[in-house]
Amino acid sequence: MAVDRLYSLLERLGNLLRTEERAAGLRHGLQPVHLQALRYLQSCNRYSNTPAALTEYLGLTKGTVSQTLLLLEEKGLLRKEADTEDRRVVHLHLTDAGRTVLKEAIPPALFKQALAGLPGGGEALEEALTGLLRGVQAANAQRSFGACSTCKHFRREGPGRFRCGMTQEPLSREDSVLLCREHEAVPPGH
């Protein structure tokens, strides 16, 4: 049955990818999940750099993520900052050391190589996976973490000038490509 084959494929690719990542993080003393957390923090926007958002992104429990963050903070790869509005909330920022580690440890060389042999540079694959992820998230009542500019709250106000229709805050061109926790896809037919 096709579903079972697909399941196996994704599972195996996930395993191999994690094994790769384990090796990549080894000389920094980092586990796969640590690199994943750092990468998320690198690519999320200022509404989404919190433990809660990361928890949902990774699909783990908040206790588990709290531990992970503790370790990354001890290693000096990230820094915590209290929110000024809501004093329960903590914002996570990569330190220079964190960014350096990411640059060194992330390039999935083996993976890039495999991708190069794919027809069309993997465009079709990306599209299909995006759809699948969306489906899994919908079935799981999870957030999508899409890029800001693809959100239904995204407003264009001029060349390089944007605004979030939800928070009313202005957004730069750089902001617009970051992942947002509050992201909601534009409904089909727009």
Contacts with DNA, residue ranges (CB under 7 A): 19, 22, 26, 29, 31, 33-34, 50-53, 60-64, 66-71, 80, 85-90
The footprint of a second copy on this chain (CB under 8 A) covers a number of residues equal to 54
- Tell me how far, at minimum, the Cβ of 46 lies from a second copy, in Å: 20
Our CB check for a second copy shows the closer of 52 and 166 to be: 52
- Tell me if 72 sits within 8 A of 34, measured CB to CB: yes
- Residue 82 contact, options DNA, a second copy, none, Cβ 5-8 Å cut-off depending on partner type: none
Our CB check for DNA shows the closer of 80 and 134 to be: 80
Question: Residue 92's CB: how many other CB atoms inside 10 A?
Answer: 23
CA gap 118, 85 in Å, rounded? 48
Angle (deg, nearest 10), helices 62-74 and 51-58: 120
Site string for a second copy, 106-145 (x = CB under 8 A): --x-xxxxxxxxxx-xxxxxx-xxxxxxxxxxxxx-----
Our CB check for DNA shows the closer of 31 and 142 to be: 31
Name the residue among 190, 179, 109, 122 with its Cα closest to residue 152: 190
State both tokens at 175.
């902001």
Site string for a second copy, 38-77 (x = CB under 8 A): -x-----------------xxxx-----------------
Our CB check for a second copy shows the closer of 6 and 89 to be: 6
Strands in the chain per DSSP E: 78-82, 90-94, 154-158, 161-164, 170-171
* SS3 state of residue 161: strand
- Residue 148 half-sphere exposure toward CB, CA atoms < 13 A: 26
* Contact positions with a second copy (CB under 8 A) in 142-181: none
Q: Interface with a second copy by CB under 8 A: which residues?
A: 2-3, 5-19, 21, 36, 39, 57-60, 108, 110-119, 121-126, 128-140
